[in-house]
A and B are shown apart, each in its own frame.
Chain A
């Protein structure tokens, strides 16, 4: 579904929200960290975060986050207490708040979300923790079936060893 491309530009210094220079942390497997701003693991922000570029959060943010048309990644160490909006949202850390993705939302196996999700496509990787609702955004034209994650089941993956299909008569 998402190619985990190694992006050489991710190693280059980028300017974080604090105005300081950061090196993009190598452990973050951001799905689109090209030219992404980084909120580093020691940074705490309280307030409103807005922007017109991709963002990776490894620190703590409380308030609201709005990145319309851009990608947001909550890294494994990221802790967010906020309602957030972006084009795509990838959660590897923890979010308490509502998440809106105009394109898609991905909760990885290490991700924890306590809140509601609105997006046309949502991926819950095996092991992801989620409590809330998922709203298949009625305002967006939805593809026939969202592509499943590599750990999820789909009609083409019925032979996965630890998962079986069972016929329902109801």
Chain B
């Protein structure tokens, strides 16, 4: 569903909240696409935020760090497990920073948790229309078991359209514009 109809798009803008995956690059090289890779995990401010951080400062930090051109509106946002690697305040900041870059045709994809206490931190990529590539990352980092309700409350630029329960209490989330 995430990738349905993308072949009909003249130009695709993709946000990948990760450090870059060859399979994702290969997949989108079939299309007239521009992929923005934003690796939040290489920035301590996001993964270990200071106590005094608030939504506003987190948002400004994201805007500066991501460096997205103002005119870019994403067709696809690949969050993978990032929504659970940052705390709720930082999540709010990310949401606000993304607001100008999403619209009614933007779809998001990520993982959540129903009752799992952790998600293995992996490097993800798109292999084909139906498959992902998954490679565990050595540094696991912190995990935040946000509930679906918390995600809906704090990450408002996109809303959860569909959640599919996977093994071990993990969820696969499809998001669309609020």
Query: Which residues of A come within 8 Å of B, CB atoms?
Result: 120-126, 128-136, 138, 142-146, 148-149, 151-155, 158, 162-170
Contacts and interface: CB of A to CB of B under 8 A. Distances in A.
A98 B133 CA distance: 28
Interface stretch (B17-25, B83-91, B95-103): B17-25
A124 B130 contact: no
B33 A170 contact: no
B25 A162 contact: no
B165 to A, nearest CB: 10
8 contacts: A120-B29, A126-B22, A136-B34, A145-B27, A153-B135, A163-B133, A165-B131, A165-B132
B2 interface: yes
B23 A153 contact: yes
A145 B133 contact: no
B154 to A, nearest CB: 21
A164 B134 contact: yes
A152, A165, A170 — most chain B CB neighbours (10 Å): A170
Contact of B125 (A131, A153, A162, A169): A153
A123 B22 contact: yes
B136 interface: yes
A130 B19 contact: yes
Contacts of A128: 20
A129 B19 contact: yes
A152 B125 CA distance: 10
A155 to B, nearest CB: 7
Contacts of B172: 168-170
B2, B19, B25, B36 — most chain A CB neighbours (10 Å): B25
B36, B127, B132, B162 — most chain A CB neighbours (10 Å): B127
Given A170-B162, A170-B172, A131 B134 contact: no
Contacts of B35: 133-134
